[in-house]
A and B are shown apart, each in its own frame.
Chain A
Amino acid sequence: MTYSPHAQKFDAVVVGGGPAGLSCSCELARKGLKVAVLERGRSPGSKNLFGGRVYSGPLERVYGNLRKEAPIERWVKHERMSLVADDGALSIGYDSSGSTSFTAYLSKLVAWMSSKAESQGAVMVTDVRVDGVVMEEGRAVGVVAGGDRIDAGVVVVAEGANRLLCEGMKVTPKLSPGQVALGVREVLKLGSEKINERFGTGGDEGMAWFFLGKPSEYLPGGAFLYTNSSTVSIGLVLYLDEGLQVPSDHVYDILERFKTSPTLKKLLAGGSLVEYGSHLIPEGGPEMMPKRVFGDGYVIVGDAAGLVLNLGYTVRGVDFAVHSGYLAAQAIADAHSSGGFTSQNLAAYGDKLNGSFVVKEMRRHNAIRKLMRKKRVFDAYPRTLVDAARQLYEFDEASPKLIEAGRRSTKGRLSILGMLSDLLLLGRGP
């Protein structure tokens, strides 16, 4: 793409053409501001990776034609959750005729979002890695990329989970292992017929499946599977602080073992690997958000602001990112028409974000996040429940009472006090 950075000054320079940066750009361009998106990838989407599911509502607010136009793979109408131990798995399922989420390839979804921003007039510049945000007297005035300085009225920091720019600006401390999880994912091609046969889905129905316990070698984290039209996205999530204190196998081996486990081997038989990738996931909750998501001349959106919620049975990230970009665009447009991109004017973004479902959801469910830092949730709990199920289902003559199965399976694994404290933790919070 030919582009001279000095040709014009942009009202907004958006660093990072992912879900947050692109929804922000789309809204800003729609409102008539001059916007440039600086993307490090060769094409929009080429550096994006996620598990596989998007909640559509927040995206439809920005993209009215999402359902018709976006590269949606399948609408998730089948949810599965499995607790897996060495010798068995206990699963629950939820099947519905309705759906509020779809599976997608993030690279393709982001490419589509990019085309939408461009059609509104945003300038997309690819192959550009931004090296820093230029600060003058505490105010962001532009960015530096490859020695070139690009001036901007406001800088939208949408750099993703590795917040190198935020760290450079000293608005966030260096990422610590406890704030992130490692996600590794494979895309396996199976063909849509095989997928529908094996997963019991029809037409465009998708499945989202979460696994706790053995798939992550009983370490905090878990595994996931999403069905796309003709492929499945399958992967592993490991919380870094916990996973790494313990010497374990290589993360790739853990994923391979999961793929070849009794639960999955037959479902995935004959699948050919078309992509292997990894990405960091912000898992630090509200505590990980920058103290202020705005300042003189800048706002911080999406993963860079730590806006992800992992509930254990589902994960939200793309919808949070898109909504934060949308809210930032509103505040930026208002600041533009009311005299400038001052911290005071951009504070409206912080207020909107705090008042939105994004931060409210993260705060509301923060207890789950704390629970998911406890090793027993991924170790003793799945082992106990699978053991209890084994006692209830496998017997010779006498079958145990529920209470007996419970008592025997918890013995030596879980204390009543520990379980009570976990329950109490779940009940706490706003």
Chain B
Amino acid sequence: MTSQPVSQHSSSVGTTRMEDALNADVWDVDEKPHIEVDTGRCAECKTRPCIKVCPANTFVLLGGKVLHSYEGCLECGTCRVICPMAAITWNYPLSGRGVQYRF
């Protein structure tokens, strides 16, 4: 029931890496992504706030491009709201999949 979220983020600030924080959660990852990105629009974006603000580091910059995953998504919906290009199609995972909050 655990996943290894795709993530290039490394935190030198604190004591817990984000990967470990995400792995503290219980997951039942969907096979189908619930986040879709229009990469054409995304490429034209200058500010790319998703990279800094997605708490699960679902959006990462690699070789000048924004790559996205969905497996470690915490389902807050921030990316949909913040995307200046309206490039993100976002909905909740189906069938109870995704993060399983216990607290």
Interface pair B18/A47, CB less than 8 Å apart: no
Q: Give bound CA distance, A248 to B49, whole Å.
A: 10
Distance between Cα atoms of A275 and B21 in the complex (Å)? 7
> What residue of chain B has the Cβ atom nearest to residue A46's Cβ?
B100
Question: Complex Cα distance A231/B102, Å?
Answer: 13
Instruction: State which size class the interface on B falls in.
Output: 35 or more
Do A251 and B96 touch across chains, with their CB atoms under 8 A apart? no
B53: chain A residues within 8 A (beta carbon): 182, 238, 240, 243-244, 251
Check if B52 sits within 8 Å of A247, measured CB to CB.
yes
Q: Are B52 and A250 in contact (CB under 8 A)?
A: yes
CA distance in complex: A164, B76 (Å): 13
Q: Mark B7-23, 1 if CB is under 8 A from A, else 0.
A: 00101011110101110
Nearest Cβ in chain A — how far from B42, in angstroms?
A: 16
**CB-nearest residue of chain B to A130:** B92
Closest to A258 in B: B14
Q: Which B residues touch A257, using CB under 8 A?
A: 13-14
Contact A278 B13 (CB under 8 A): no
Q: Which residues of the other chain, A, contact B76 by a CB distance below 8 angstroms?
A: 182-183, 278-280
Contact B96 A273, beta carbon cutoff 8 Å: no
Expressed in whole angstroms, the Cα–Cα distance for A161 and B57 within the complex equals 21
Categorize the interface residue count of chain A: 35 or more
User: Is A366 an interface position by the 8 A CB rule?
Assistant: no
Question: B52, A244: Cβ atoms under 8 Å?
Answer: yes
> Secondary structure at chain A's binding surface: helix, strand, loop or mixed?
mixed
B contact residues around A340 at 8 Å (CB)? none
Interface centre among A40, A175, A244, A277 (most CB of B within 10 A): A277
Total A-B pairs, Cβ < 8 A: 141
Q: Is the CB of A276 within 8 A of B25?
A: yes
Interface string of A90-123 (1 = CB under 8 A from B): 0000000000000001111000000000000000
Of B18, B24, B78, the most chain A CB neighbours within 10 A belong to B78
A180 to B76, CA, bound (A): 11
Given A251-B53, A252-B21, A273-B21, A41-B96 contact (CB < 8 Å): yes
Does any Cβ of A come within 8 Å of B77's Cβ? Answer: yes
- Interchain nearest-CB distance for A415 vs B (Å): 30
* Cross-chain contact A274 with B96 (CB below 8 angstroms): no
CA distance A274 to B20 in the complex (A): 10
Give the distance to chain B from A2, nearest Cβ to Cβ, in Å: 15
Distance (Å) between the CB of A275 and the closest chain B CB?
5
Q: What is the bound-complex CA distance between A244 and B47, given in angstroms?
A: 9
Shortest distance between the CB of A288 and any CB in chain B (Å): 12
B35 within 8 A of A: no
Find A275's partner among B9, B25, B56, B96 (CB 8 Å cutoff).
B25
Closest to A41 in B: B96
A233 contacts B by Cβ under 8 Å: yes
Name, among A43, A247, A276, the residue most crowded by chain B CB atoms within 10 Å (CB to CB): A276
A259 CA / B101 CA spacing, docked (Å): 21
Is the CB–CB distance between B14 and A280 below 8 Å?
no
Question: A46 near B96 (CB under 8 angstroms)?
Answer: yes
Within 8 A of A (CB), among B36-61: 47, 49, 51-57
State whether A277 touches B74 (Cβ < 8 A). yes
A-B pairs, top 8 by smallest CB distance, nearest first, are A256-B14, A42-B96, A276-B21, A127-B96, A162-B77, A278-B55, A278-B76, A244-B49
16 A-B pairs within 8 Å (CB atoms) are namely A41-B96, A43-B96, A47-B75, A106-B101, A240-B82, A243-B53, A244-B52, A247-B52, A248-B52, A250-B11, A253-B13, A255-B14, A257-B14, A273-B21, A274-B102, A280-B77
Further contacts, 10 of them, CB under 8 A, given A48-B101, A106-B101, A252-B18: A42-B28, A107-B102, A129-B92, A162-B77, A175-B80, A177-B82, A186-B21, A244-B49, A251-B52, A251-B53
